[in-house]
Structure 1
Amino acid sequence: MTGIAEPKSATFGRVELHPGVSRLNMSTFYFSAFISICLLSFVNLIQPYLLTEILKVPLSEQGSVTGAILFWHEMVIIFTIGLAGSLSDTVGRRLIFAASFLIVGIGYGLMIQAGSAWQLIIFRMLFAAGAAGVTSMLSTVLADYVKDRDRGKANGVQGVMNGIGAMTAVFVLLNMPEWFKQSGMDSVAAGFATYYTAAGLSAIAALLLWLGLKEAGVRERAQPKRFIELITGGVRAARDPGVLLGYGAAFVSRGDLAIIGTFLALWINKHGVESGYNAAEALARASIIIGISQLAAFLGAPLFGILADRVNRVTALAVTNVISGLGYISLFLIDDPFGGAMFAAVAVAGVGNIGTLISTQVLIQQQTPADIRGSVIGFFGLCGAVGILAASKLGGWLFDVWTESGPFVVFGLLSFVLAAWALVVRNDIRPVRE
């Protein structure tokens, strides 16, 4: 009787891939890591320009308006990210990933046409549905493609691509309004051109992902289950202390990412406009400061990826959260966001944030059984959405009522709490073998 030999595994650099995954598939995934962070971070970075130049929202109200926008954005993600992960277990990752980018592009095209803050919220909610699918698929596809022993390195490379994407958003897309104005456009036309450029990039990304990711296979298509069964599977998985820690880490790390992507840009824009800059000039200054944070993250990503493969992944999570907490709380000491101390603070925060994201993703990938991976990582994403929701509402209120650095202080403290939690449960966590 003749057996069927298991297909050989390919490698991508020093990363071993699962059988059936090609280098083209992996290259396409890393492109998705680049373009997803570029487009999903840019929506928050460009928002101060939209509020100031297009919608004419007073500076004194922009913190609360931003918080409201993010609140409804995350409400949509809470109700859709689990659906995206669960559906991908039955229809395949490629379809969900590509369709999600199309929705992101439609959202960009509509947001710039908003005539009021409430219209912007509605269009941002549509964008959020696409963002939920993109976010869910990033961790799920990487877990499908790479063998566990190399996931730290693979996530480190993903972090590098994330960093390049974030810097592209900061140094290229965020400067586009000023470039369009220099070419003769007024502020409104420059805003429309910038948003339509982002929409076009989203459509191109959807096409490339459809062509380059692998078709749904056995590892993706578990036996079909009802949606509620897939969701409850993610909840039941929390009985594993490693999965539960991963859910808590998602809450903190995604909240961290939200405040640095939203309230840092808002803080710098507010300071710049109050100092006499126009919105486009203030964003150009913001691009330098945020770019320092992203450059630090870019340089730190491969190091944290290697660390996650060489030490206990719970230990790596604790270490990175201590760094992140120090970076965020140090922002409370900043009086002038254009001063030199700001560069050091955001660099530490950027290094800590990318380290936390990498160690969190590797931990949840390590602890997730393959047959419910989409569901568990979908619920993991839901926990991250709740973290962003808390960051947006509480952060917007603190920004307007207390101090611009208030959101950073709260999540810096939460980073320390997460580090302590990780150390307490470290010896109780055992990796799930595939």
Structure 2
Amino acid sequence: MSDSVIEKKYLGISVSDGVTGWHMSTFYLTCVATILLGTFINAFQPFLFNEIMHIPTLEQGVVSGKLNFWGEMAIIASVGFWGAWSDKLGRRAIMVLGFMLVAVAMYLYPHAKSVNELIVYRVIYGLGIASATCMIVTLLADYAKDINRGKAAGLQGVCNGIGAVIALFVLLRLPAVFQQQGMSAFEAGTQTYLIVAGFAVAVGLLSIRGLKAHETVVHEQKPSIFLLIYEGIKAAREPGIALAYGAAFVSRANLTIVGAFMTLWLSNYGTQEVGMTAADALKKAGIIVAIAQSVALFGAPLFGILTDKLNRVTALLIALFITFVGYCSTYLVSDPFGGGMLVVVVIIGLSEIGAIITSGVLISQQTPAEKRGAVIGIFNLCGAIGILVSSVVGGYLYDNWDQSGPFVFVGFCGLVVFVWGLIVKNKIVPLN
């Protein structure tokens, strides 16, 4: 097979000119890594709170909300700049910087002596994960042609599922393995964070060689960063982009709420109601949450095909309705280790991946190439705001109302955007 043919197709996906199989493979590796890192930092928090920092159980919901709040503040402050800078400096440079910042945060995390110090490290993480996440969405639009963008996003969803499953099935088991070898809880936790930091560095270094180099346009005067951000905000006048921004609010909140509060809910139930050790409860929680991510893994190709076959707004509406049903159903769960929870997490897994894929493909379809970095930067900003709001509201509801509170809140947010989508559906004209 000639190089020209390889450049045009990757696993049946039509790719843009100059994009090779190596570029696509590295891109999908960064998808695995980004979700792995994002899943791990939230899912591992119960062990950090209980075994390393010894935070009282009654305070953990608020602390988790604070960490998400300040992490998302960092994302909100930076994500528009990451997208705009990527238009000037190149996607690869921003992606590599993101993984290095995440690695620094992971190394420092278990050494925090107070919640305030932990918040500082979470801000560093937020800056890094913002740049990586922003580049994932931007590179998908850069690399895959619109005709197969749903399929490309479906494969991205598979990679997301793989990353989450590795985090939940492998990384969350490491403390128990290390403790069986004679390490203390602190040593086991620190070693786990160190391994994850090393992984982030490795992926960052591989991205230097594997992602497509930035193509500088000679003698072209580039617009300023602030002008690019303004263009991304102004683009919301187009109803399809505005709806995608709203969907980003819900889809990013989906992923974070599951990582931050589902594991916390299950872990605390295991230690307080069942009498498990913190390591065993975390392992059990990881298995249940991993079911949701496994469903997402297998559901990703389905939503990828669905997004290519149906009107892309229709596909988004389906995902949003599933979000409403799945997340609000958590209120009906009385035994989080029972069969009812398994049904709920299956629905949640479908809604997670469905919202991510359909919103990402819709924003790619509606965005002109010359403004792509800036628009997708604002798209990710809306996702960050979704995480911020759901973390603060969710943390309060978790501690003061019900442990299903964060999920019910996100479910109703999904319903609001679903109704919005029904209203504007016929006003949206595909750009690409």
Tell me the CA shift for residue 8 of structure 1. Answer: 9.1
Query: What CA deviation, in whole Å up to 9, does each residue of 1:221-256 have, x standing for no partner?
Result: 985221110110101101110000010001111111
Measure the CA separation in 2 of the matches of 1:365 and 1:131. 20
Is the contact made by 1:324 and 1:350 (CA closer than 8 Å) also made in structure 2? no
1:145 to 135, 139, 143: 143
Q: Which residue of 2 aligns with 1:376?
A: 375
CA–CA distance in structure 1, aligned partners of residues 378 and 323 of structure 2: 24
User: Which amino acid in structure 2 is aligned with residue 337 of structure 1?
Assistant: P
- Aligned pairs for 1:210-225 (under 5 A) are 210-217=208-215, 223-225=221-223
* Aligned-partner Cα distance in 1 for 2:148–2:372: 17
What is the aligned partner in structure 1 of residue 131 from structure 2? 133
Which amino acid counterpart does residue 377 of structure 2 have in structure 1?
Answer: G
| Cross-structure match for 2:359 | 360
CA distance, structure 2, for counterparts of residue 419 and residue 127 of structure 1? 31
CA distance in 2, matches of 1:404, 1:218: 51
- Structure 2: how far apart are the matches of 1:56 and 1:183? 22
Alignment-derived partner of residue 423 in structure 2: 424
Matches within 5 A, 1:140-219: 140-217=138-215
Provide the rounded CA distance (Å) in 2 between the counterparts of 1:390 and 1:134: 21
**Counterpart position of 1:288:** 287
Contact 1:222 1:372 in 2 (8 A): no
Distance in 2 separating the partners of 1:363 and 1:53: 43
Q: 2:7 touches 2:21 (CA, 8 Å); kept in 1?
A: no
Q: 1:222 to 1:126 in 2, by over 3 A?
A: farther
Equivalent in 62, 65, 81 of residue 64 of structure 1? 62
Gaps in structure 1 of 5+ consecutive residues: 1-5
1:112 aligns with 2:110: yes
Native 8 Å contact 1:320 1:352 kept in 2: yes
Q: TM-score, normalised by structure 1?
A: 0.96
3-state SS of paired residue (1:112): helix
CA change 1:185–1:378 in 2 (3 A) is same
- Tell me how far 1:217 sits from its aligned partner: 2.1
Superposed CA RMSD in Å reads: 1.6
User: What is the identity, as a one-letter code, of the residue corresponding to 2:187?
Assistant: A
Alignment of 1:70-89 (within 5 A): 70-89=68-87
Unaligned runs of 5+ in 2: none
CA pair 273-7 structure 1, distance change in 2 beyond 3 A: closer
SS in 2 for 1:216: coil
How many percent of aligned residue pairs carry the same amino acid? 46
The correspondence for 2:10, drawn from 9, 12, 17, is 12
TM-score, normalised to structure 2's length? 0.97
Closer, same or farther: CA 222–407 of 1 in aligned 2, 3 Å: farther
Q: Give the total of aligned pairs.
A: 428
Aligned to 2:243: 245
Indicate if the aligned counterparts of 2:157 and 2:357 stay in contact, CA closer than 8 A: yes
Secondary structure of the 1:338 match is coil
Q: 1:375, CA displacement in angstroms? A: 0.4
| Compared CA separation, residues 50 and 230, structure 1 to 2 (3 A) | same
The CA distance in 2 between the partners of 1:153 and 1:406, in whole Å, is 34
CA contact 1:85–1:378 (8 Å) conserved in 2 = yes
Structure 1 residues 72 and 399, CA, compared in 2 at 3 Å: closer, same or farther? same
The code of the aligned residue for 1:417 comes to: V
